[in-house]
Amino acid sequence: MIKFERFELDNGLRVLVHEDDSTPMATVNVLYNVGARDESPDKTGFAHLFEHLMFGGSANIPDFDTPIQMAGGEN
């Protein structure tokens, strides 16, 4: 079993933390507890649309992979 800590921030964000001292690396995963299962039958496809929009960049960060890679990370 992987040991982890679980806590909730004041804003409701649930956080899980697992420390592994065997490697000098940090990893962040963001998971959303919502998806296609939450759509109504007459309005489908929004979860899939938002999934693609999140990876399309923005006016301030058109390509989020480049800054991460310049800092030595990867997506």
Longest CA–CA separation in the chain, Å: 49
> Does the active-site annotation cover 51?
yes
Candidates 5, 19, 39, 51; catalytic one? 51
**H or E element in which residue 6 lies:** strand 5-8
- Which residue type is seen at 15? V
Give the active site residues: 51
